[in-house]
Amino acid sequence: MTVTIIDVRQRPDGDRLHVEFSINGHVWRCGDVPAELADDEVAIVAHLESRSAEFERDIRAGEGVGSQETLM
């Protein structure tokens, strides 16, 4: 699984980041990345990769946390 960060934005609540990224060419959005990772792209990628089983399952199913909508 290859994760590429496209965009990182602070969510209005300030506690989380909204990250747009791609996994093997599919664009996804994740809204629950810890805000303390904001300045560390390597840590953001590691966080997303730690959830790879969720994303891969949902990529196959086309639903849930891995849907191509906003992930929460």
- Percent of the chain exceeding pLDDT 90 equals 36
Q: How many Cα neighbours within 13 Å face the side chain of 18?
A: 10
pLDDT digits (tens, 9 = 90+) for 6-27: 999 999 988 999 999 887 777 8
CB 58 within 8 A of CB 64: yes
Residue 62 has pLDDT above 70, yes or no: no
pTM value is: 0.73
pLDDT of residue 63: 58
